[in-house]
Each structure stands twice: as structure tokens, then as C-alpha cells.
A and B are shown apart, each in its own frame.
Chain A
Amino acid sequence: MSEATMHVIMQSIPWVILIMATILLPMLRRKSVSFGIALPIDKLNAPEVLRIRRRYMLSCAVIGAAELALGLSFIGREGGSGSAGAVLIGFLPLVYLFIATLLFIRANRQTARLKAELGWQVPEPRFVAVDTTPRRFSGAISIWWYTIPIGLILLEAGILAVYYDRLPDILNVHYHGSTVDRVEPKSLKTVFLPNLIQLLVVGLLAAVSQSIKTSKRELDPNDPEGSSERSRRLRRNGTFLLWGISLLTTVEFGLVQFGLVGWLSSNVATIAAAVVMPLVFIGFAIAFAAKMSMPTGKAAGYGTPVNDDRFWKAGLFYFNPDDPAVIVEKRVGIGWTVNFGHPIGWLVLASPLLVALITLLISLL
């Protein structure tokens, strides 16, 4: 497999997944909501609503395909290694994401207008169902599961510490394809930086898992037991997914680290870390996305729509300073988001950025 071909594949797979995710977004619903606007359940698949949905999906597909073609043509021309090409490849998916968001907001506005024009009524929030069982029974997996990836990290670091003196003096720091193109002298920082990254990532995922545990338990007052059970299952699947990712990430960086110190040949390390592991990640994520999503058309599972539109800016961002909940369920798609009206919400949002910054700072020291 030539350099350029492998490069093309590696670059386009995540891009294609991103495009698919934005196109399929309107199909992933847990609530009686279309593009962030609450609709009566019987109107969810009304012809006008479907028209807006189809237009959104088509626009995303066309623009995504066009950008992908543009990006790939660049890679093909420059062989993917030109610096201008590399920068462009990095930016184009972000540009696509930005455009897809604008398309979503357009669909959101169109749906809001439709709802107003046709006079579709959704009840104002009135009845609230609350579960008196405490948070530790809310379905999220126990944080003690994270002792497994952490134990693995400590084991790796421990083994490398014991064998430190016997490690080669020159370490393979960067690969181009499967050839090593940059080396550095052995130092504590170079050898153990992957472990630090592992700890930060696992720590971040554990924290996110805990935050899901604290999330607002939104129950449908017309079906408190049923919606409680569904939410419980969602929290269990979501937190388990995060734990699984933390474990896979630990393995991934472990492979990178072993390649670094020469315990894995550069070929094996590259294929394992850059091809096999990403595929495992993707497979795992897809399996879980399927498990977590509700079969579309299952109206009983949508819950009673509530006229909360004013709190959901552009249908995507929950802003409600009067709500003490920091983490709430997403309105569009499946998962959780922060309450932008709560100061701690912004902190939670910034936390992955902080982790990335810390990693960057330490690697530059």
C-alpha cells in the first residue's frame, strides 16, 4: 500500500463518518422534537416536517461530498505530504461542520416558523415527575470500573520504569507511514509522556461519566416508570461507552509507547496504533450508537412533548439560568449537554480543552 493511498484512507474515513453523522442526526431522536423544536407526536412525520428534514439531509450530503472530493483531489495531487495540502485537509472537515451547523440552524428556523404558522400546540411545562431513588441507582456505572484502565497504565509505566536503563538511548518519536522520521534521546519525559496523556484522558472520561450520573433525570409525567427505565438504560450504555473508550485509549497509547521504546517494530506499531485500533474504536462506537438509539417511529418512547423551545437556542444550546441542573439530556440526538445558563456548565465544556492544553504545555517543557 503506497504512502499516498494509506494517507487518503486515513484522512477520509473520519471525514466520511463526520458527514454521515450530520446527515443521520435528524433520525436519532429520543424526544418528540424535530431540529430542536418540540412538536406534537402526531406531527413528527407530517409532510411539511419531512420536507425540511429531507432538504437538510440532501444539503449536507451534497456539500459533504463536494468538500470530500475537493480534499481528496488535493491529497492525490500533492501526495498528501505537502504542508499546504496537510493544513487544508485539517481544516476542510471543520469547515464542513460549520456549514452543517448553519444548515441545521436553518432547518430549526424553518420548523419553528412552520409550527407557528400551522398553529401546532405543545403543552406548556406543567406536571413534573420525580424519582425519589438517589443518584447512585440512576443507572450510570460505578466509577470503580476506572481502576481497570488506571491499573493498566500503572502497570505499563511500572514495567518501563523497571526496564528503563535497558531501553535504547534513541527513541522513535515520529513516524511517516511506517518509517521513523524523527528520533530523540531517551529521557524521563519522552518515555513517560504517553502515560501522562493516558491518565489525563482516563481522568477526563471518568469525570464526564460522573457528570452524566448527576444529570437531570427528566421523566415523562405520563409514563414515569417507562421513561425512568429508558433513561436508566441510556445512562448505563453511555457511561459504559465512555469506560470502553478509556480502555481502548489506554491500549492505543500503550502501543504507541511500546513503539516509542522499540519494543514493537515500527511496522507493527504503526499498523496497530494507526489502523487496527481506530477500526476497533469505530466498531465499538457504532455498536453502541445502535444500542443507544431508539428505533424511529416508536412513538411511545418519545415522551410527552413540552414547550421548552425558548430555552433551547437554535434548538441545540440549553440556556436556563433558573434551572439548577448543570448537565441535561440533549434535545437533538442522543446524549447529554450542559446548561449554558449555569456557570459550572461552561467549566465542564472547557475541561477537554484544559486537558489538551496541559498535555501541550508538558510536552513543550
Chain B
Amino acid sequence: MMIMLDLQSEIPIYTQLVNQILEGIASGRLKPGEPLPSVRSMAADIGINLHTVNKAYTILKNDGFIQVHRQKGVIVQPGPMPGATEQYEARLLEQLKPLIAEAICRGMRADRLTALLHQTYIQMKGADPM
């Protein structure tokens, strides 16, 4: 899978990496158990510091989306992915609040917002979530 990074974006690179890997897993382009490059490899390919890649991998590892083994290297979680816990929902709501607020300010209707959400979900997952 190809990851695209924008070195001049406001979004920090480690966040971009986390987001893109999550998107890869969500869309099925990254399969469970699929190997990922080592921290050193990835950093060399991008041309950035090891710490940045390490930060991204640590976040994904702590959440349970990837596994970092000493011998096998880095792989996408082969078993069941972490579930949508209450904690996760709370965190998601925190992240959504500013987005929803701006939509309200700009006069967007609730059903339009829901439609956009639905659309993006389906496109990413490639199947109907309902």
C-alpha cells in the first residue's frame, strides 16, 4: 500500500502516518497480519527522524492495531481488532464536537452531515454498515 505524506501540512507527520495506516486497515488494503516496514526502514524511506515514525507506531501499538515483535518485525494486528469501547466512543465524540460545531455554524443540516458520514464510511469499508 502507498502512503502519501504532506511535509508542509499543519497536521504533524506522525498523525498523518497513524491516520493513513488506520485508513489502510479500514479499507482492507492492509490485511490482518500483513507486515509493515521497521521503524528504521520507514524513516529512511520518508527521510524523517526515527522518533517521528516511532511515535506513530507506538500510538498504533498501544491502541492494539499493530504488533511490534523483536524477530517478526512490525505486523498489522492478526487477530481481532480492538473493539469500539465506551472510552473510544467518548474520545470520538470529543474529536467530532468541533467538526459538528463548525457545520452548525455554517448552517449545514443534520441529515446532510449524516449523509456525508455514511458515504465516507461505505466508500472506505466497501460495504453497507447498516
Q: Is B32 an interface residue (CB 8 A)?
A: no
| CB 8 Å contact bits of A299-339 with B (1 = contact, 0 = none) | 00000000000000000000010111110000000000000
Which residues from chain B contact A128 at a C-beta distance below 8 Å? 4-5, 7, 46-47
Question: Which chain B residues numbered 19 to 67 have a C-beta less than 8 Å away from chain A?
Answer: 21, 24, 30, 35-38, 40-50
Interface of A is mostly: loop
Main secondary structure of the interface of B (DSSP, over half): mixed
- Contact in complex: A132, B37 (CB < 8 Å): yes
Pair B73/A326 contact, Cβ less than 8 Å: no
B44 touches A134 (CB 8 A): no
By a CB distance below 8 angstroms, the chain B residues around A322 are 47, 49
**B47 close to A323 (CB less than 8 A):** yes
- Kindly provide the distance from the CB of A137 to the nearest chain B CB, expressed in whole angstroms: 9
B residues less than 8 Å from A125 (CB atoms): 7
Chain B minimum-CB-distance residue to A320:
B47
Cα A217 to Cα B47 in complex, Å, equals 10
Contact (Cβ within 8 A) B2 A130: yes
A132 touches B7 (CB 8 A): no
Q: 0/1 per residue, A64-97, Cβ < 8 Å to B?
A: 0000000000000000000000000000000000
A151 to B23, CA, bound (A): 47
Which residue of A has the minimal Cβ distance to B2? A224
Q: Is residue A135 contacting chain B, with contact meaning CB distance below 8 A?
A: yes
Contact of A134 among B3, B24, B36, B46 (CB under 8 A): B36
Contacts of A133 in B (CB 8 A): 1, 35, 37
- What residues of B have a CB within 8 angstroms of the CB of A298 in the complex? none
What class of interface size applies to chain B in its complex with A?
Answer: 20 to 34
Contact with B along A216-244 (1 / 0, CB 8 A): 11110100110010000000000000000
The reply on A22 being an interface residue by CB < 8 A is: no
Cβ–Cβ < 8 Å partners of B48 in chain A = 324
Chain A interface residue number, banded: 20 to 34
Which residues of chain B are near A214, meaning CB under 8 Å? 41, 44
Complex Cα spacing A111 to B81, Å = 54
User: Quick one: which of A102-144 are within 8 Å of B by CB?
Assistant: 125-135
Interface residue? B6 (CB, 8 A): yes
A324 touches B3 (CB 8 A): no
CB distance from B38 to the nearest CB of A (A): 7
| Smallest CB separation, B2 vs chain A (Å) | 4
B8 located at the interface, meaning its Cβ lies under 8 Å from any Cβ of chain A in the complex: yes
CB distance from B98 to the nearest CB of A (A): 26
Pick the residue among A132, A324, A326 that contacts B1 (CB under 8 A): A132
How many Å from the CB of B51 to the closest CB on chain A?
10
Chain A residues with CB under 8 Å of chain B are 125-135, 214, 216-219, 221, 224-225, 228, 320, 322-326
26 sample A-B contacts, Cβ–Cβ < 8 Å, listed by A number? A126-B6, A126-B8, A127-B7, A128-B4, A128-B47, A129-B5, A130-B2, A130-B3, A130-B45, A130-B46, A131-B45, A132-B3, A132-B24, A132-B30, A132-B37, A214-B41, A216-B47, A217-B45, A219-B2, A320-B47, A322-B47, A323-B47, A324-B40, A324-B44, A324-B47, A324-B49
B-to-A contact residues, CB < 8 Å = 1-8, 21, 24, 30, 35-38, 40-50, 73
- Beyond known contacts A132-B30, A134-B35: 17 more, CB 8 A cutoff: A125-B7, A126-B8, A127-B7, A128-B4, A128-B47, A129-B3, A129-B4, A131-B3, A132-B3, A132-B36, A133-B35, A135-B41, A216-B47, A219-B2, A320-B47, A324-B40, A325-B47
